[in-house]
Amino acid sequence: MVRSRAVVAAMGFLLCLPSLLPAGTFEVASRDELNALMVRLRATQFLQHATFGPTDAEITTLAARMMQIGVLPGAEEWIDQQFALPATHHQDLAEAMVVADGFTITLDTINISRYRYQAWWHNAITAPDQLRQRMAWALMQTLVVGQSGSNFNDPNADSAQKARWLGLSNYYDMLVDKSFSDYRDVLGGVTFHPIMGTWLSHLRNRKATTTTFPDENYAREVLQLFSMGLYKLNPDGTHITDSNGQSVPTYDISNIETFARLFTGLNYARSTTISNGTINLVEPMIMYQAYHDTNPKQVFGGVTLPGNVAGVQDINAGLDNIFAQPTVAPFICHKLIQRFVRSNPSKGYIRRVVSRFNDNGSGKRGDLKAVIKEILLDQEAWDGIRMVRRTNPWRLEVTGEGTERSRLQEPVIAYAHFLRRYASTNYTNGWFALPTLAGNWVQYPYGSPTVFNFYSPTFQPSGDLTETSGSQNIPGGDLYAPEFQLLDAVYANRNPNRYRSDIFNGQTVHTLFSNATLGTFVCTIRYDLSKEIALAPNSAALAAYLDQTLCCGTMTDSVRQSLVNALNVAPQNNSATPTNRAQAALLCVLTSPAYAIVE
């Protein structure tokens, strides 16, 4: 084992090699085999965008269907099938996990709130409604809440007889349920949810008095982060400018003050007064009319909301006004494209998705089904990988197209991908009872430190990117790499160590809780590398298989050959069994740019 680890260290240079140089070549025996490989790679690429990482079975099934009816029809059919699946929820699962372990939901001596992370990981890895789960994860990174909110980790029961720590799971499930609705519905769910009311402090927000003014926190963020952003946008994502060439702001302080007045009078469900202390983090907030500002409110577009109307009606009218603003579509669509496909979508890509947001084909605005289908099926969702057929001999050349057509996988998604392909669990009911794994990455479920998410959508890492302008197709010309904000020195060290420990130990033992009275609860995750081990005697076949299944074939020939050469040295080591060779190869691929970067 010691020497096979040295092989891994010797191949560590793969981390530093670019994945965007010459093509990777796959030789095949016939035209039919070439076409089948091409379709399989397209199925892999599509599922990398649409899931938490495709399993081998999912790729095989989709590729077979694509061979029958075509790549695009097959992808669209898969999306429609995902739309038809029932939602997989987190709150109910977290509660079931607690009960199965023999505890009560409100037991605080074992940090009971950890079950919300276990439920999240289990659903990310196993839920059949993968597209819905990915959409909810994308929405959670736009409509952000985090676990640091008041009472969010409290084990005590609330007025709905639910433990308060379940509130975050309930909020996430609200996003799960609304992932395929329309964006106005999402805004409503977020606005009235007590988790957001607590997080951004419009809970118990009261109309002005002679000495006090409404809290402006939610009013600001619903405009800046949840709907329009800072500047007015054209349908292609470019900034609207004034006569001096300056970007035009979407709102000003007067708008914030007006909407702060709008979001007044809300308190927990089942409370008895506006100041009642009964906490309820799982049911929508209710209105106390006496504390709602009932004066007329001039909102966007010269619209005036009338005075003396019911508070909930007033808030909904204000949300309708926000949702109607033209900039909402390009602002939200740009963010969703970033989360699913690429960090730097072109103006044309944004414009086409915005067109679907504005009209789903039946006159409906904000339809998220239409939006996500357009994002995943648009030509630019596919052109990050170029495939060229060659003859004499038959072969397929595959090239990753570069910075403007790719994104760095988030740590959570990259690891979920690894688990979905290789992992099994011995825990009760086959649950993947994983902890936060926050010790490996800054990013983890419910762990956003602020409303601004784990990273900025306009983050630029230091180096060449800040000096490089995008093509004329990129709005504004600046290139961004949001997820690179998470790639610091700590992550660069801990991420490969996480994979190395998992792979070479063959299992990961998560001690969830240990107590002299209550006992020890352990979830063991095991990894099935049987296919890789079977291929290990043939280094070229093993490298090609890993490239195709984990990297969509985007490794260059030179990088893949470097991996083959290193594996061919391994037989000189007494410990280099097929298992060791498979483990070493897998670790090198999982820590390579070709895996980290999704084209």
Residues 371-376 have a mean pLDDT of 98
Q: What is the CA radius of gyration of the chain?
A: 26
Q: Is the pLDDT of residue 12 over 50?
A: no
Q: What is the pLDDT of residue 519?
A: 80
pLDDT tens-digit profile of 166-212? Answer: 999 999 999 999 999 999 999 999 999 999 999 999 999 999 999 99
Strand extents, DSSP E, 105-239: none
Q: Is the pLDDT of residue 334 over 70?
A: yes
Q: What is the pLDDT of residue 480?
A: 93
The token pair at 553 is: 């074939």
Q: At what angle do helices 2-10 and 578-590 cross, to 10 degrees?
A: 30
Q: Is the pLDDT of residue 20 over 70?
A: no
- Averaged pLDDT of the chain: 92
Q: Is the pLDDT of residue 571 over 80?
A: no
pLDDT tens-digit profile of 545-570? Answer: 999 999 999 999 999 999 999 998 86
Task: Report the alpha-carbon distance of residue 313 to residue 194 in Å, rounded.
Answer: 18
Q: What is the pLDDT of residue 2?
A: 35
Q: At 10, is the pLDDT very low, low, confident or very high (cuts 50, 70, 90)?
A: very low
The pTM of this model reads: 0.94
- CB distance 421 to 53 below 8 Å: yes
Choice between 538 and 4, residue whose per-residue pLDDT is larger: 538
Task: Report the alpha-carbon distance of residue 155 to residue 90 in Å, rounded.
Answer: 17
Task: Report the alpha-carbon distance of residue 402 to residue 410 in Å, rounded.
Answer: 18
Angle at 377 between CA 371 and CA 379, to 5 degrees: 120
Q: What is the pLDDT of residue 340?
A: 98
Q: Determine which helix (DSSP H) or strand (DSSP E) holds 366, and give its type and residue range.
A: none
Q: At what angle do helices 56-69 and 31-50 cross, to 10 degrees?
A: 120
Q: Which of 374, 369, 366 is nearest to 337 (CA)?
A: 374
Residues 436-448 have a mean pLDDT of 90
Residue percentage of the chain with pLDDT more than 90: 81
Backbone angles phi, psi at 284, to 5 degrees: -55, 145
pLDDT tens-digit profile of 89-130? Answer: 999 999 999 989 888 777 665 677 889 999 999 999 999 999
Number of other CB atoms surrounding residue 366 within 10 Å? 23
Report helix, strand or coil for 529. coil
Torsion from C-alpha of 439, 443, 444, 448, nearest 10 degrees: 120
- CB distance 484 to 408 below 8 Å: yes
Q: Is the pLDDT of residue 19 over 80?
A: no
